[in-house]
Amino acid sequence: MTRSGQGGAQALLLEIYGRLRAAHGDPRWWPANSPYEVMVGAILTQNTAWGNVEKAIANFADRLSEEFVLGLDHQVLAEIIRPSGFYSQKAQYLQTVTRWYGKYGYRVDTVRSLPMAQIREELLALRGVGKETADAILLYAFDFPSFVVDAYTVRLVERLPLPMPSPLTKQSGKNYDAIKTFFELHLPSDAKLFNEYHALIVLHAKAHCRKRPQCSGCPLESMCEKNV
């Protein structure tokens, strides 16, 4: 892609961001009381709706902490997070991620002092942590500028005429990498921007860019190439 092409891609992405923010406001996402709660939510939200995650986190009451999670018997933890679904697996994943965080003394500043690429590699090596979960933890728990791609993002990219360097494939893993690279290459490397952009995409997808598009009032309708 040429230098002018890069500038055009950035302008387009920023225009999309501006339209989404004007329509949906400040998303104020991720809703959590601590970076560790973000990590817990990132694990629990796998393959379930956010409302179920909120129910699971509420079951902790005021006890949610790294020490509490690691001190629980696996079955007891699984029962606490049962509303999130796949609770036995997620209990194992949650304790694995918590032990990883423990290597850094449960300190955000210690994690932040290390290269983002190193932390991402460590997270991806953990059982139960895929690319989306790793990037959500990097961005929302540790404020690293790592763009999160989810099903909503893929849907939006497929419908908008974004100048991707190559067509998306049917292999979701390759799509993830291609879309993440595209956004990170053409946007300022800013965690707050990435945070808001991803959250706005989620809000927009729920309001308008559904599997069956709800186009009335959509702020992106004039630039969309959807197939209704």
Tens digit of each residue's pLDDT, the chain (228 residues): 333 356 789 999 999 999 999 999 999 889 899 999 999 999 999 999 999 999 999 999 999 999 999 999 999 999 999 999 999 999 999 999 999 999 999 999 999 999 999 999 999 999 999 999 999 999 999 999 999 999 999 999 989 888 887 777 766 667 899 999 999 999 999 999 999 999 999 999 999 999 999 999 999 999 887 754
CATH code at 35-141: 1.10.340.30
Query: What token pair was written down for 157?
Result: 């990219």
Neighbour tally for 215: CB within 10 Å: 13
The whole-number pLDDT of residue 176 equals: 92
Identify the CA nearest to 48 among candidates 145, 135, 138, 151. 151
Listed in sequence order, the residues at least 6 apart from 58 whose beta carbon sits closer than 8 Å to its beta carbon are: none
pTM of the model: 0.92
Task: Dump the DSSP string for 95-160.
Answer: HHHHHHHHTTTT-HHHHHTS-HHHHHHHHHTSTT--HHHHHHIIIIIT--------HHHHHHHHHT
Query: What token pair was written down for 144?
Result: 């690293």
What topology does CATH give the domain 3-28+148-223?
Endonuclease Iii, domain 2 (1.10.1670)
Neighbour tally for 193: CB within 10 Å: 17
Domain ranges of the chain: 3-28+148-223, 35-141
- 8 A C-beta contact, residue 9 and residue 163: yes
- 8 A C-beta contact, residue 80 and residue 56: yes
Query: What token pair was written down for 55?
Result: 């129910």
The whole-number pLDDT of residue 128 equals: 96
